[in-house]
Amino acid sequence: MRLDRVAEDIFIVISEMYAQVTAAVIFTNQGAIVIDTLPYPAETRQMLSFIEDKLGADAVRYVVNTHCHADHVYGSYLFESATVISHDLCREILLRSGERLLARAQRENTNLAEVRLRPPQVTFANEMHLHLGPRHVRLIHTPGHTSDSIIAFTVDDRVVIAGDTMMPIPHISGGDITSLVASLRSIQELNPNFIVQGHGDVLLRGEVDEAIETNICYLVTITERVRELVERKQSLASLLSVDIEACGISRIPLDGLVGRIHQTNLNSLYQRFTTEESAD
């Protein structure tokens, strides 16, 4: 894992094993708040020992799951003494399909052999406030990437820890574009000094607005392009003509993963629009 720092007491850990997924640690004199974990136990353990070096054992009070996806929640079980917090739907989804998906992931990837699912214990619907030591952290529902997505916002220094609501390319497969655009706007209204993206580098103050506008513009553009192709009865293969950079997104970040996410986004829109057409 790689370390970054956005405030005196806020550290970001970035996975070097899987898709540059990020997790954040907020240190206080009353213990730590961890927002997301890393997918592989080897790296979450490194994160844990980094925290223990500073605060001693069992110092993590809360683990926040920004959404139910494996790459963000699979390390929760390593923080045994912490309370796990999420959106209501995150707990529901993990209870419904978490064990089945984990068993499948473990068959495919030995790095996950020892992972155990740890469902959230405290959940909320719209917003929740965490107060620990001097820190006030707002947890806010921001659906779009998934229905259960939330962000964490540190009220004093305006750091948004965005989970996958903010990424170098929006990822909407299984999610909802209209909600994601609204959620990105609501992040913009928080006027953040930093955005910790769910994957990839931290966005600095000067980059925040442009990055959000780029992501919104991308979502609007792919919606128009795919709708047009479906209306003209073009095949699934025609999606390959929708170039990622023509939609305003660089293909470079996340070691090329953005290109695959782009195709997934197009596919899911295509499926949705063709189903809507046939229902008309």
C-beta of 98 vs 198, nearer to Zn ion = 198
Distances in whole angstroms, Cα of residue 280 to Cα of each of 228, 270, 274: 16, 15, 10
C-alpha 19 chain-centroid distance: 12
Task: Please report how close the Cβ of residue 163 comes to Zn ion at its closest, in angstroms.
Answer: 7
How is residue 170 written in tokens? Answer: 């929006």
Q: How crowded is residue 36: how many other Cβ atoms within 10 Å of its Cβ?
A: 29
**Within 13 A of 67's CA, how many CA atoms are on the CB side?**
24
Stretch 72-111: interaction string toward Zn ion, x if CB under 5 A? ----------------------------------------
C-beta of 59 vs 115, nearer to Zn ion = 115
Does 71 contact Zn ion by CB under 5 A? Answer: yes
| Position 237, amino acid | A
C-beta of 9 vs 71, nearer to Zn ion = 71
The answer to whether the CB of 34 falls within 8 A of the CB of 84 is no
Alpha carbon distance 103, 99 (integer Å): 6
Task: Please report how close the Cβ of residue 177 comes to Zn ion at its closest, in angstroms.
Answer: 17
77 in helix, strand or coil? helix
C-beta of 38 vs 230, nearer to Zn ion = 38
Size of the site for Zn ion (CB under 5 A): 3
Span near Zn ion by CB under 5 A; candidates 63-71, 147-155, 229-237, 263-271: 63-71
Stretch 197-216: interaction string toward Zn ion, x if CB under 5 A? -x------------------
Tokens 């070097």, located at residue? 16
Span near Zn ion by CB under 5 A; candidates 43-51, 64-72, 78-86, 232-240: 64-72
| Position 144, amino acid | G
Span near Zn ion by CB under 5 A; candidates 65-73, 151-159, 221-229, 250-258: 65-73
- For 209, the enclosing helix (H) or strand (E) is helix 205-231
C-beta of 73 vs 181, nearer to Zn ion = 73
C-alpha 223 chain-centroid distance: 21
Span near Zn ion by CB under 5 A; candidates 1-9, 86-94, 192-200, 268-276: 192-200
Span near Zn ion by CB under 5 A; candidates 23-31, 38-46, 152-160, 191-199: 191-199
C-beta of 31 vs 198, nearer to Zn ion = 198
C-alpha 106 chain-centroid distance: 21
C-beta of 148 vs 164, nearer to Zn ion = 164
| Position 136, amino acid | H
> Pick from 164, 183, 214, 218: which binds Zn ion (CB under 5 A)?
164
21 in helix, strand or coil? strand
- For 73, the enclosing helix (H) or strand (E) is helix 70-73
Alpha carbon distance 219, 9 (integer Å): 34
Task: Please report how close the Cβ of residue 67 comes to Zn ion at its closest, in angstroms.
Answer: 8
Residue ranges in contact with Zn ion by CB under 5 A: 71, 164, 198
